[in-house]
Chains A and B, each alone.
Chain A
Amino acid sequence: MTTLEMRNVTKVVGRETHIRDVSMTLERGTLNVLLGPTLSGKTSLMRLMAGLDAPTSGQVIMDGTDVTGLPVQKRSVAMVYQQFINYPTLSVWENIASPLKVARRPKAEIEEKVRHAAKLLRIEKMLDRTPLELSGGQQQRTALARALVKGADLVLLDEPLANLDYKLREELREELPRVFAETGAIMVYATTEPAEALLLGGNTATLHEGAVTQFGPTLQVYRKPHDKLTAAVFSDPPMNFIDVEVKGGRVWIGESVTPARGSLSGLRDGGYTIGFRPNHLYLTPEEAGPGHIELEGIVAVTEITGSESFVHADYANCRWVALSHGIHEPEIDAPVRLFLDPDRFFVFERDGSLVAAPETKAKAA
C-alpha cells in the first residue's frame, strides 16, 4: 500500500510563509483535489510533494520512508503543469517516451507504452509532429501522456485544464481520473474551481493562505465544512456571511429579529456567523419555502449568464450574492426583498468553527 504522508510540512521563502504546517496522508489509488484560490499554496504544496522544493521544516514520507531531502530524479513522480510544458525540439513520440528512455527501458516496451498512452489520450496520429504544431488541447494531452507512461506512484496535476477551452476541459476532466485510475497511482489535482472538485469527487483538501483547512471526502467537505474558511473556499460564487446574535430563542439578523429556526434552533445564547450559499438566497418567498426569513436589501449589481442571474445585494454592511434561475433584472440601488431559508444555514462560531450545518436532503431521500 503506497501512501504519501506530509508531516508538519512548512515552507518559508524569504519572509513569506508559503506553506503553513501541513499534515495529510494520501493513499494509493485515490484522487485528491487541492482546492483553493490563486496564491493559496496549491502549487507550492505540489512542489514539496514532488521534491522540486525542500520543506523548511517537517517531513515528506513515502511508503514509510523519509524522502524529504531526496532529489526529484530519484522519486517516482510525474507532474503536469497549467502551461503546456513539452520539449519543443523533440517530436511528440520522443516527448512521451522521454521518461522511459531515461530509465533505459527496452525498446519494445517503450514503443508499446507510448502507443498505449497516445491511444488513451487520442493523440496517436500526432506522434511524428513537434508539440508546437499541435493545438493547446493536444499539447496538454502530450504532457499528460508523458506523465502516464512513467507509471509513477505520485501523479501531480497542477490546474492541468485551466488553459483549455470549455469543451476540451469537460472532455479531459472526464477522461483524466479514468486514465490514471488504471495505474493505481496517488493522484493529486489542483484547481481553483469548487465545481471542478465536486465533479472529480475523491478527496478534497481546501487551502487558505498556505494552510490546509480541511481534508476529507469531497462531498463531506462540501456539506460539513469544519470552519468558515473552508466553507468560503468551497463555494463559487463565494458564500454569503453575516454576523448574528442569538438570545432566548430569537435571532437578530442586522435590524431584523426572527425566531430561531432550522440550523439556528437550539443554539446557546451568543454571537454567531451564519453562512449560506448563493443558491440559497432567494428573491421570492415560494422558493425559500415555509419558515423563511424576509429581509430588505439594496441591489448593487446584477449579472446575467444565460438562464441564471446573479443579483448582488447589500444588507447590513454585507454584500450578498443571490443565484436565481431565470432572468431577473432589478433596478440598481432599489430595495429588494431577500428570502432566507434557515434550514440552509451554516452556523459558525465567531472564531470560525462550525456549529451546525444544514441537513442534506439528498441523504434523507
Chain B
Amino acid sequence: MKDTRIPAGSAAKIDTQSTRARGGVVEKAPTRAAVRKRIPKRWIVPTLYIIFLLLPIYWLFTMSVKTNQEILSTFNLWPDQFTFDNYMVIFTDPSWYRGYINSTIYVVMNTVISVGVALPAAYAFSRYTFLGDKHLFFWLLTNRMAPPAVFALPFFQLYSSVGLFDTHLAVALAHCLFNVPLAVWILEGFMSGVPKEIDETAYIDGYSFPRFFTKIFMPQIASGIGVAAFFCFMFSWVELLLARTLTATEAKPISAIMTRTVSASGMDWGVLAAAGMLTLIPGAIVIYFVRNYIAKGFALGRV
C-alpha cells in the first residue's frame, strides 16, 4: 500500500509541478505572441502601400505574357498560357521597335543639349551678378509652369515652316523649353556649393577658363550633372503631347505608337502591355544609376 501511495503522491506532485510549469508557459506565451504579432503590424501599412503601387505594374506584366484571348476572357493572377509572343511582335515589327529607337534618339539629344546649355548658364548665375539676374532666373523657372499643350501649336507651325517637322531634333528642341530651366536651376544649386576661391586658385595656377571648367569644376559637380541629366531624361521620356504633335512617321515616339494600336481585329491588349513594360525599363535603369546623387541633390536643397 505504501508503495502505491507514494507514487500516487509523487504523481500528484508531478502534476502540480507540471501545471505550474504549464502555467509558466501560459504566462510567457502572450508576450511571445505579442512579439510575433508586432513585426507584421509594423509592416502592414508599408506592405499595403507597396502592393498598391506595384499592382498596376504587376497587372501590366501579367497582361504582357498572356494571349489576347486570355486577357479578355478570364480573370486570373497568373497566366494559364505563359507566352513571350507579345514581346516578339515588338522586337520583330519595325513599326514598333522604331518607336523605341526614335524616343531614345530625341531623349538623348535633348539631355545632351539641355545639360550642355545649362552648364554655362548655371555657372553665370552662380558666379556673377548682372542686371536683372534674379528676375531672369525666376523667369526661366516660370517656363516650367506652362503646360506643354500651350506650346504645341506654335511649335507645330514654326517647325513646319522651317522644315524641322517630323525630325528628332524638333522634339529634342521643343523639350529644351522645359528642361533647360530645370537643369539650370538644379546645376546652379550644386555650383553655388563650390567656393568661388577654387575658381580663383585655378586661374592663379594658370588654368584657362575652359580647361578649369572641364578639369577642375565639372568633376566637383558631377553628381549635380547626373541629377540634372536624369530629370531631363525622365521629362523627355514621358512627355507625350509635344512629341506626338511634332512627329508623323520618321521620328514617331513609342508613346505615340502605343496610342494607335487599334487594329481591324480590335485592340491588341497583349502587345500594348508588352510595349508598356519595355517603356518602363529605361527609366528604371536611369533611376538606379542616379539614386545616390538624387539623395545628395535633396540634401543640397534643390531637386
| A interface residues with partner B (beta carbon < 8 Å) | 50, 52, 71-73, 77-79, 81, 83, 85, 87-90, 98-99, 102-103, 143, 146, 150
Contacts and interface: CB of A to CB of B under 8 A. Distances in A.
B200 A73 contact: no
B46 interface: no
26 contacts: A50-B204, A52-B203, A72-B200, A72-B204, A73-B206, A73-B207, A73-B208, A77-B204, A79-B200, A79-B201, A79-B204, A81-B197, A81-B201, A83-B195, A83-B197, A87-B198, A87-B201, A87-B216, A87-B220, A88-B220, A90-B216, A98-B207, A99-B204, A102-B207, A103-B206, A146-B201
Contacts of B206: 73, 99, 102-103
Among B195, B201, B205, B208, which residue has the most Cβ atoms of chain A within 10 A?
B205
A52 B198 CA distance: 13
Q: Is the interface of B mostly helix, strand, loop or mixed?
A: helix
A98 B204 CA distance: 11
Interface residues of B, number: 16
Nearest to A158: B197
A85 B195 contact: yes
B154 to A, nearest CB: 41
A99 to B, nearest CB: 4
B142 to A, nearest CB: 29
Nearest to A99: B205
Contacts of B282: none
Among B197, B201, B202, B208, which residue has the most Cβ atoms of chain A within 10 A?
B201
A85 B198 CA distance: 6
Given A79-B201, A87-B220, 19 more contacts: A50-B204, A52-B203, A71-B203, A72-B203, A73-B207, A77-B204, A78-B204, A79-B200, A79-B204, A81-B201, A85-B197, A90-B216, A98-B205, A99-B205, A99-B206, A102-B206, A102-B207, A102-B211, A146-B205
B219 interface: yes
Interface in B200-236: 200-208, 211, 216, 219-220
Contacts of B219: 89
A150 to B, nearest CB: 7
Interface in B95-111: none
Nearest to A98: B205
Contacts of B195: 83, 85
Nearest to B201: A85
B203 A73 contact: yes
A72 B207 CA distance: 10
A6 to B, nearest CB: 18
B216 to A, nearest CB: 5
A265 B200 CA distance: 54
A73 B219 CA distance: 21
Contacts of B216: 87, 89-90
A103 B206 CA distance: 7
Nearest to A50: B204
A89 B223 CA distance: 12
B208 to A, nearest CB: 7
Nearest to B222: A89
A321 to B, nearest CB: 35
Contacts of B202: 87, 98
Among A50, A52, A85, which residue has the most Cβ atoms of chain B within 10 A?
A85
A77 B206 CA distance: 9
Contacts of A78: 204
The 3 closest A-B pairs by CB, nearest first: A89-B219, A102-B206, A99-B205
Contacts of A77: 204
Contacts of A72: 200, 203-204
A204 B213 CA distance: 37
B214 to A, nearest CB: 12
Contacts of B207: 73, 98, 102
Contacts of B200: 52, 72, 79
Contacts of A146: 201, 205
B220 A89 contact: yes
Nearest to A103: B206
A51 to B, nearest CB: 9
Contacts of A71: 203
